[in-house]
Structure 1
């Protein structure tokens, strides 16, 4: 079947970059786009006219929220040591346990993938937290994840996360590292088995991803074997790196080099590497190494950095110059990483923070942010058939409604969306030519039931915090409302 989508605006791709069509059309058949422009000369079987809307390439989330996001719990609730987002020594000695059942683990991905689709994201590299897990992820869990992704129709790069260590809080409140290298290597073996079994399944919706949890929780052998496996399978490696001062200094102490220097040494500093968050390099004013060595490593390599501005801004951090990285030729993609799973929200915050830190409005543009969420993500994955609307590209297409009163007086589609829009303005989504969302509804999803289950499950997660937290404080000392409870102040229950 040949389908024609029409709208008042279409973002096409001319071979060099995005361009804007007024009263444009996108025509596709099967899973491929045939035509972008105006006045398609052929015949079509079906036409959908979305009216005052923007048709654009599906967004690519390189660090997609795949969880019921626990990082939101850090908002004004103290540091992770106090609130149970870092294991205590007592909890480690008792033996870590799984907070969710297998069915609840499945549900969190169903909920997360549905939310990603609702926000215009068509390709996702999901990320979840390990702190409420017994250790890391496993093969069967991701067989279930692949099944859910295929059912919902989202394009997903996935594989179980693995790690050989974890940081914890000692009884004297200092931080220690617990290592279990055998467990990490066994996790890598499961990840490789998953990649070999599932890569290309779902008519290409599922692609294998190697996902060591974070650089400071990996041993040299684990990263070296990951690099070798990535080269053998031609699989991307997504590794959280250069995301905190603690990580930078710990890696420097353990490995006698910076995190980027260690990636270079293990063979991971290459075009298959996808690195969230890329903030703390040598030369950064908050780290101990003032040299420009990491900048030289970064600009000489072909790695991609994943910019996740919202989650860092929430705690006072930021990439110090998006424009400088882009001007140096470093490939930048975008990620959500936290709730809301909204790349429009991250484009807006990323644009504003970049301009504040750069001191002007000339180094980072609205186009730079949109390019990162589309072409930058595609480049990170080695794909020239994603992130663009052009003949021959995959029919990953989203439609953003432009009629919402919250958008204000209309003047330009993408500027209106990035200034005042939100991901929930996404009205329709096609992935590989399949309509996975129409009129704001994802398939046959019961949104109310989905949200009710998410609320129940998140309450269970919150209730589990005292068991992990240093000193096992009661729940009311971990989570604080913005203002004190009136009943408590009055001596009530």
Structure 2
């Protein structure tokens, strides 16, 4: 559905993060106008000459492109708030994937509340496009459309499930026909998404994890993605357990094995990509993983928060960029705050490299905009330029935490964060007004999620291999009395 045609102009914005096509980079432009008609940007520059049905006073505003999040799990992660903040399996290299996450999985009744909470948080942190990596659930497409976001729907499928019976060994239960069936269903769902009346849904092919997908499923899914002109994403190099499992099975690292099958290319995305052959935790006899990622044009979706909670981090964002790897960013976990992820990515990279020059704000902002757009095969989002989609964010440049305002994007990322975000537009339609989501009831969804978590916690000991009470799995910060 094409947005109603109406020319709107933001006049005399203090600063616009505009796209310089000749230099292929974002630039600061002062006292500038941004005009859009329907869902398309028609002017970025000074002194817009045309007429407009609506004018927005840009005084005191920073106008920037909407952020592009290429890795998120809205249907599950909000349920884990207050539970997985500081636990990881000591017998599984501190990952929480295998032992703890399945215990607190949202049930069908809770999923819509999870989604509304996550998408609201994304909007409030300036995200206008998100890749939703979820298992298919009822009403998914309409729920995504309700948010007003531009969404890359990424239904996951797999050939096996993982589990642990003792907290230190991961086992796999295989059902390859079920994986093939799930892929077919995912592709049909993608077809439906791309025909959705909202006009803001598109698809991605996602075999869930490198260690839960059969060889045939990996190759077939990659072929389907190529035939349909879609991106292809997989969780890989995301845990020490997985690294050792793949080297045990195939005698190659996860990245090396994907490359050996021809699965790495410029439309492939590796979710996380932390444990390479030269990571200190997973040293291997090769030193080629980073070069493989760069040479094939593969994107790495970096999501620092979820790993930092377990004392785990990439070594390091800047090193990947210097080698030529296309980098994108995602939230993966709660809170779904993209600005928080950008800031943490900066600090972790510099800490790991013991060098403040390890990564620049320019590189991080690029990853959150044009890097993510490139991974999704789009050149019409993540930048403010004529002909691009009208996906943008208005920031209160006069907010006290944005002052001094010498470098407004740095002030936003390192100081103000989402507190300074005022309005968000997607496809020319306003979805956040004065810091409030106007497409969904965020507060109501959060209240419902609070009640749903109580139900999930009552059932958690029955989902745990050791039947432990929740208070033992995830002790509260203070004793309740």
Paired residue for 2:9, among 4, 7, 13?
Answer: 4
Q: Secondary structure at the match of 2:236?
A: coil
Q: Secondary structure at the match of 1:239?
A: strand
Aligned to 1:343: 338
Deviation of 1:444 (Å): 4.9
Instruction: Identify unmatched segments of 5+ residues in structure 1.
Output: 129-136, 488-493
Task: Report whether the alignment pairs 1:69 with 2:78.
Answer: yes
Aligned to 2:115: 109
- 1:421-440 to 2 correspondences below 5 Å: 421-440=416-435
CA distance in 2, matches of 1:184, 1:86: 20
Paired residue for 1:242, among 227, 231, 237?
Answer: 237
Aligned to 1:320: 315
CA distance in 2, matches of 1:263, 1:437: 40
Do 2:204 and 2:231's aligned partners in 1 also have CA atoms closer than 8 Å?
yes
Paired residue for 2:41, among 33, 38, 57?
Answer: 33
CA distance in 1, matches of 2:361, 2:176: 44
Deviation of 1:97 (Å): 12
CA distance in 1, matches of 2:439, 2:259: 47
Deviation of 1:25 (Å): 1.5
- 1:341-490 to 2 correspondences below 5 Å: 341-407=336-402, 409-485=404-480, 487=481
- 1:43-442 to 2 correspondences below 5 Å: 43-66=51-74, 67-70=76-79, 72=81, 73-79=83-89, 99-101=106-108, 103-128=109-134, 137-138=135-136, 141=137, 144-170=139-165, 173-407=168-402, 409-442=404-437
Deviation of 1:322 (Å): 1.6
Deviation of 1:409 (Å): 3.9
Do 2:326 and 2:371's aligned partners in 1 also have CA atoms closer than 8 Å?
yes
Structure 2 vs 1, CA of residues 321 and 398 (structure 1 numbering), >3 Å: closer, same or farther? same
Q: Secondary structure at the match of 2:467?
A: coil
Q: Deviations over 1:168-224 (max 9, x none)?
A: 123585332221212111111101111223225335311111122111111111111
CA distance in 1, matches of 2:97, 2:348: 29
Structure 2 vs 1, CA of residues 350 and 154 (structure 1 numbering), >3 Å: closer, same or farther? same
Q: Secondary structure at the match of 1:480?
A: coil
CA distance in 1, matches of 2:179, 2:233: 16
Aligned to 1:134: none
Structure 2 vs 1, CA of residues 78 and 331 (structure 1 numbering), >3 Å: closer, same or farther? closer
| More deviation, 327-336/359-368 | 359-368
CA distance in 1, matches of 2:241, 2:185: 29
Structure 2 vs 1, CA of residues 402 and 340 (structure 1 numbering), >3 Å: closer, same or farther? farther
CA distance in 1, matches of 2:326, 2:166: 43
Q: Secondary structure at the match of 1:117?
A: helix
CA distance in 2, matches of 1:53, 1:202: 33
Do 1:108 and 1:454's aligned partners in 2 also have CA atoms closer than 8 Å?
yes
Instruction: Identify unmatched segments of 5+ residues in structure 2.
Output: 1-5
Do 1:86 and 1:167's aligned partners in 2 also have CA atoms closer than 8 Å?
no
CA distance in 2, matches of 1:213, 1:479: 27
Aligned to 1:21: 29
Do 2:291 and 2:323's aligned partners in 1 also have CA atoms closer than 8 Å?
no
- TM-score, scaled to structure 2: 0.91
Deviation of 1:484 (Å): 3.2
CA distance in 1, matches of 2:106, 2:147: 25
Deviation of 1:426 (Å): 2.0
Structure 2 vs 1, CA of residues 172 and 24 (structure 1 numbering), >3 Å: closer, same or farther? closer
The number of residues matched between the two structures is: 468
Structure 2 vs 1, CA of residues 352 and 414 (structure 1 numbering), >3 Å: closer, same or farther? same
Do 1:241 and 1:278's aligned partners in 2 also have CA atoms closer than 8 Å?
yes
Q: Secondary structure at the match of 2:477?
A: coil
Q: Deviations over 1:11-66 (max 9, x none)?
A: 00011110111222210101111111221111111111243221100000011241
Aligned to 1:490: none
Aligned to 1:491: none
Do 2:10 and 2:55's aligned partners in 1 also have CA atoms closer than 8 Å?
yes
CA distance in 1, matches of 2:453, 2:90: 18
Do 1:81 and 1:169's aligned partners in 2 also have CA atoms closer than 8 Å?
no
- Kindly report the root-mean-square deviation, in angstroms, between the aligned alpha carbons of the 2 structures: 2.4
Structure 2 vs 1, CA of residues 355 and 77 (structure 1 numbering), >3 Å: closer, same or farther? closer
Structure 2 vs 1, CA of residues 330 and 355 (structure 1 numbering), >3 Å: closer, same or farther? same
Deviation of 1:74 (Å): 2.2
CA distance in 1, matches of 2:339, 2:203: 27
CA distance in 2, matches of 1:87, 1:344: 28
Q: Deviations over 1:212-241 (max 9, x none)?
A: 211111111111111111111111112111
CA distance in 2, matches of 1:126, 1:80: 30
CA distance in 1, matches of 2:113, 2:80: 18
Do 1:86 and 1:468's aligned partners in 2 also have CA atoms closer than 8 Å?
no
Deviation of 1:87 (Å): 6.5
Deviation of 1:465 (Å): 2.2
Structure 2 vs 1, CA of residues 216 and 25 (structure 1 numbering), >3 Å: closer, same or farther? same
